[in-house]
Structure 1
């Protein structure tokens, strides 16, 4: 906890801290690697300088003195030999793979140009060994062999440890920083937004982390509160309008009842019943009791059997197929309301409706199948929108605002489930509701 208090409160400050820490790590670890690499790899440039120095001594020495100098050098571990200049024609480059790797290293860490490049270049091979050659005079070459072959040079030894450590440290630090400070909070906010329920008054976006993340979560909570207030105002307004319309509608019904029998009276009563049905549909949609209903253990099979029995009692062919018992965590009244709306939608157009229940690996699936006319594919995603009425065989000549399926979609969303619609073969519709959770 004390360490967290010492950390900067903003992402900008934490990035600055990471850069400073990375520089410290690069300085310490890079220096240690440089010393290790210097001990492990010979300094080719320094070796070339010594070859040039010996060549300068041999240039002015007599033949006897030359042999003395070479003998002293060999005794010190330097394998020098004097060869004709024509030998340089048989010099070769490194093997193909080493050559490509050497080319890459030289392009990133170019070899120091002091001293002057040896005869044949910095990577010269003769008789299968790497050599360094320098001119003694116009007819003689001094060739050094027998030193360890390496693709490293002084630039690599001095600079590569810092380059490699800097890259690895910055990648590691910023990777951990991105996961801890940015990715996880954004993922948490995204999941909260996906599973949010507008009817829940509690704050769903947790306000913790860097100042920028806290500000984002706070802004989202404020925006959600404003949306909640706007939806609540709209709902209260519509409820008020619907209730206020019932008073004159009741007076119209009483006056129509006192009228003499005839087509005018029948027309008025028909319109009054139609308006009353529309008001009931709106009020039913605005009564979002399913949103506040708590999750509890319930026998969904019994709920579906009861729903089917209610439709059967009034003369509709609605039957249940599935197990006699299936316990899940759900909102029981909301589930009954969703299936009732689906069955009510189906019995308007079909002669037979089947409600199926089956267990899945991660929950249960409720399917409502009918043999009525289908819905065109381009309208299947729109039928769950409020107040949508498609111009097809399942909506023509039917009263209502088209809110029944919208209520079903809201109930499924409140369960964090999934709702799909498909045509039944050879005719009809198939509604599928998936409710996640353990099945008992």
Structure 2
């Protein structure tokens, strides 16, 4: 389970597990430190004491009884005399089981009427709740009465808690509450300290997709601030290197295209048509190779300016253009618009590269919409396909399954690299698999525009 949690989540889980262990230890200590008999013996008077008090009051003169009541009463035990039989009320109820239990232990006083009253269970209504109820409820315990041989009752009221209290709460509960408050404060502090790392992770994810520098403000511990500063500097340097490479390739491409244009003008003067056509074809191949190399260098910046694009309309246009040229291609895209946020020129190049790659090695090609969430396009062909062990390597620049490097038997090895970069820049997933038609299936999943 911890493997799915981030840095902050792991620290929070550790704190929560420690708190749970603390609470469990506190509960265990509460239940094992004292038995129920020890608690009852500390709170309530023993039967022999009750019997002695009753006998002492019965043997004393009426004038002496108030003095005896003062002598036997304490902070935990209040002894009074009542002329009427105590009865249950809306706040109290009788406990028959406790009455029978106490009667058995007062055998020397039999026969006596024993009445035990306890507060009713249940929480009060919200409007009846008062701030002082906690302290009042602490003193509200068991009240019982033993009848005298003459008229009247000796009323015993055992008050106080079953153990030591801190602000009206048991120490174990107080420790647990304090631990919970400390744990909550620790979780908040951990989340606050981990926030710079989360922002740094988001910044790196954005940088890897489009090479746009998104600096994070250094915050947190000194080590984290130094890490953020180092990553910010690294992003700046990498971005400058990438843009410098792009400018260099652009400049080289521009200069080479100038020389290619001059060579094309000179080729037009060749006397032999066959040699002139071959030279022109070579120049065209050189131009396309330069454009592909430049596209690879700019691939990470393809999706800077996005706009809503109807993928279905775009693919239908591409397929119709190829079909009019005699290509064996068809489309199964339905009639609903499929809108995504994309850079139109880059997206068109992505689909053209994939379709032309399929048509180059297959006898037919099908472009279809797959039933899935988002916009998922599949391009299927009946060609030889790509071996499973080479399906990740074909996206590398200049990689070709055919090693002769001949342009007649394959492309420049940049087509799928361009496709991969454009797909990554648009947040799309790209994978290769076996096609139902026997060849290769290229599956592109785009996030649908909201």
TM-score bracket for this pair, using the shorter chain length:
0.5 to 0.7
Paired position in structure 2 for 1:343: 355
Q: Give the Cα separation in 1 of the matches to 2:238 and 2:423.
A: 21
Q: Give the Cα separation in 2 of the matches to 1:425 and 1:186.
A: 45
- Mapping of residues 248-397 of structure 1, within 5 Å: 248-261=259-272, 268-269=279-280, 271-286=282-297, 288=299, 291-331=302-342, 332-358=344-370, 360-361=372-373, 363-391=374-402, 397=408
How far apart are 1:397 and its partner, in Å?
4.6
Q: Give the Cα separation in 2 of the matches to 1:291 and 1:284.
A: 9
2:245–2:297 contact (8 Å) kept in structure 1: no
Is 1:207 the counterpart of 2:217 in the alignment? Answer: yes
1:386–1:406 contact (8 Å) kept in structure 2: yes
2:219–2:225 contact (8 Å) kept in structure 1: yes
Q: Deviations over 1:145-171 (max 9, x none)?
A: xxxxxxx9xxxxx99789867765554
Q: Give the Cα separation in 2 of the matches to 1:375 and 1:167.
A: 60
Partner of 1:365: helix, strand, or coil? strand
How far apart are 1:356 and its partner, in Å?
1.1
2:303–2:422 contact (8 Å) kept in structure 1: no
Q: Give the Cα separation in 2 of the matches to 1:196 and 1:323.
A: 36
Q: Give the Cα separation in 1 of the matches to 2:275 and 2:313.
A: 47
2:391–2:432 contact (8 Å) kept in structure 1: yes
How far apart are 1:230 and its partner, in Å?
0.2
Paired position in structure 2 for 1:176: 188
2:380–2:436 contact (8 Å) kept in structure 1: no
Q: Give the Cα separation in 1 of the matches to 2:274 and 2:296.
A: 33
2:210–2:425 contact (8 Å) kept in structure 1: no
How far apart are 1:291 and its partner, in Å?
2.3
Q: Give the Cα separation in 2 of the matches to 1:340 and 1:267.
A: 25
CA RMSD for the aligned pairs?
4.6
Partner of 2:386: helix, strand, or coil? coil
Q: Rate the CA distance shift 1:273–1:415 in 2: closer, same or farther, 3 A.
A: closer
Partner of 2:249: helix, strand, or coil? helix
Q: Rate the CA distance shift 1:374–1:358 in 2: closer, same or farther, 3 A.
A: closer
Match of 2:432 among 412, 421, 429: 421
How far apart are 1:279 and its partner, in Å?
1.8
Q: Give the Cα separation in 2 of the matches to 1:313 and 1:225.
A: 48
2:385–2:440 contact (8 Å) kept in structure 1: yes
Q: Give the Cα separation in 2 of the matches to 1:159 and 1:411.
A: 64
Partner of 2:217: helix, strand, or coil? coil
2:339–2:448 contact (8 Å) kept in structure 1: yes
How far apart are 1:392 and its partner, in Å?
7.7
- Mapping of residues 133-172 of structure 1, within 5 Å: 168=180, 171-172=183-184
Structure 1 portions without partners, runs of 5+: 1-25, 48-70, 77-151, 153-157
How far apart are 1:198 and its partner, in Å?
6.1
Partner of 1:320: helix, strand, or coil? strand
- Mapping of residues 76-95 of structure 1, within 5 Å: none
TM-score by length of 2: 0.55
1:365–1:432 contact (8 Å) kept in structure 2: yes
Paired position in structure 2 for 1:223: 234
Q: Give the Cα separation in 2 of the matches to 1:280 and 1:313.
A: 26
Q: Give the Cα separation in 2 of the matches to 1:336 and 1:264.
A: 34
Q: Give the Cα separation in 1 of the matches to 2:284 and 2:307.
A: 38
Q: Deviations over 1:91-118 (max 9, x none)?
A: xxxxxxxxxxxxxxxxxxxxxxxxxxxx
Structure 2 portions without partners, runs of 5+: 1-21, 43-47, 54-162, 164-169
How far apart are 1:432 and its partner, in Å?
0.9
1:320–1:354 contact (8 Å) kept in structure 2: yes
Q: Deviations over 1:189-230 (max 9, x none)?
A: 3233223366564x4244264254554444323221211110
2:370–2:377 contact (8 Å) kept in structure 1: yes
